[in-house]
Structure formats: C-alpha cells, structure tokens
Structure 1
C-alpha cells in the first residue's frame, strides 16, 4: 500500500513541476512585460573617466599559470601506496619539501637538499593536502628559507 501512495504522490509532483515549467516558458515568451520597462545601458558622462572593473596590478594574486610551481612542507613520513618514501641518496624519510611544478609533476626535497621526482603522487594529491597559498616568493631559495630549509 505504501508504495502505491508514494508513486501517486511522485506522479502528482512531477505533473505539477511540468505545469509550472510550461507556465514559465509561456511567461518568458510574452516578454517584455507591460509593467517592467526594458533596461537601458548608461553611458558614462562626457567628463567621467572609465575605470576598469578589476584590481590594480599591485593587488592581484598571480594565477597558477604565472608561477613556476608551489611548495609545501611535509614533516611526517610520506607514505605512498603503503610504502614510506625515503631519499635515495641519504635515506631521510621525513621533513620533506613537496613541490608541485607547473607541469603537475611532484618533486620531493629532503633536508640535505637532494631532489627526486615522485611518480606515485599527482597534482590532485598535492591540492588535497596543501593549505591555501599564503605567500609568493621571487626565488626558490627564499621559499625554502621561509619553509625552514
């Protein structure tokens, strides 16, 4: 019994939706409405300067295409596919700097400045685990110094 009542209620709801949609289409076809005048665009006055609608260059944040990459600090051991990643040169397994470059490749840098590419990670992983960008650095060295390396 319950299912039949539910089916009838759903059917009535769908029919009411269809009727409302048809009414909306008829109202839109009858435009312009008699009580509502057409909007007019206002041209700037003769002495008025046109100001652009976006921020000045000194207040704009660089877009993802404008930067060579982003980096974050990863203090705990990095586990990828069930394995703890270690530096192939010195054996370090924690306190990484993780880079996501503009080609969406992920690179790891250990405390001893050894760098290795990590094919098991991608840009989606980086975006899930990194926080918001809080600072932009003109050089890699300044970014590393800011992150404590």
Structure 2
C-alpha cells in the first residue's frame, strides 16, 4: 500500500518538474512568427477535392460500388436463433453482403442466397473490417473470399 503511494508521488513530482521546465523554455524562447496562410484558388481545370482521406484509401470516382461483402465463418445468430440456409441447411461459413439499399443477403457455401431481414447495415459495419479490395465482378469477390 505504501509503495504505491510513493510511486504515485514520485510520478507527480516528475510531471511537475517537466511542466516547470517547459514553462521556463517557453518564457525564454518565443514562438516563431509564421506567415499567415493565404488561400489559393485552384488552377483552371483542377477539381477541388477535400482532404478527408488519403488518396490510397479513396474509391475512384468512376467505380460504382453495388455493395460490400465479408466472410462469416462461425454460426450466424440473429435474435437468439442460428440462421440456416433454407435450401441446404448449412449454418456456418457464410458470405454476408451489404447492398447499396442497406439490405443484407447471405450466401452459403453451396451458392444459395437469401435475404436476411433481421440484420441491417449498422450490424454489418459493426462486424466487418475495412474494405481491402474492390472486385469488378461478384464472382471474383466470392472467389477472393474462398467460396
């Protein structure tokens, strides 16, 4: 118990000494005077693009994205029930699609697809990772995910 109090006191004293040193340095060395930034108009023919994402993470403007997909290996439980394929009875190893209209579709390993009304885009976004690749066709995306 006393050892912890001693460590806390030593930490606080080191913090205070560091803050005092920074204050002394700031008082003896004034901040440099940087010139004010001037707004620049874009050159003719250049589009103004906000710097929201770095270029390597942006989707090309001409690329239409119909939806995103992820692999779901474990059994899919929705509202306390394990979802099974209505055609073959498979209950794990799904590909989950989130379409542009925020609907969720499931595809089993046998290729049967069914709409899942118990899930939505919020669930998909919470459980999926970042998009790491774009595929020109659905078949290539499914092949990439191992189905």
Q: Establish whether TM, by shorter chain, passes 0.5.
A: yes
- Gap change, CA 1:39 and 1:125, over 3 Å in 2: closer
Kindly state the Cα deviation for residue 66 of structure 1 after the two structures are TM-superposed: 3.1
What secondary structure does 1:124 align onto? helix
- Gap change, CA 1:133 and 1:91, over 3 Å in 2: same
| Rounded Cα–Cα distance in structure 1 between residues aligned with 2:78 and 2:115 | 13
Kindly state the Cα deviation for residue 137 of structure 1 after the two structures are TM-superposed: 0.2
Quote the residue 1:136 is aligned against: 134
TM-score (norm 2): 0.62
Quote the residue 1:86 is aligned against: 84
Quote the residue 2:17 is aligned against: none
Question: Over alpha carbons, which structure has the higher Rg?
Answer: 1
Kindly state the Cα deviation for residue 50 of structure 1 after the two structures are TM-superposed: 7.0
Quote the residue 2:108 is aligned against: 110
Is 1:121 aligned with 2:86? no
Quote the residue 1:101 is aligned against: 99
What secondary structure does 2:123 align onto? helix
Alpha-carbon RMSD: 3.0
Is 1:75 aligned with 2:37? no
Quote the residue 2:24 is aligned against: none
Deviations 1:16-46 (A, max 9, x none): xxxxxxxxxxxxxxxxxxxxxx9865678xx
**After TM superposition, what 4+ stretches of structure 1 lie above 2 angstroms from structure 2?**
38-44, 48-55
| Rounded Cα–Cα distance in structure 1 between residues aligned with 2:101 and 2:41 | 44
Kindly state the Cα deviation for residue 112 of structure 1 after the two structures are TM-superposed: 0.2
The total of aligned residue pairs comes to 106
TM-score (norm 1): 0.62
| Rounded Cα–Cα distance in structure 2 between residues aligned with 1:77 and 1:121 | 14
| Rounded Cα–Cα distance in structure 1 between residues aligned with 2:60 and 2:40 | 33
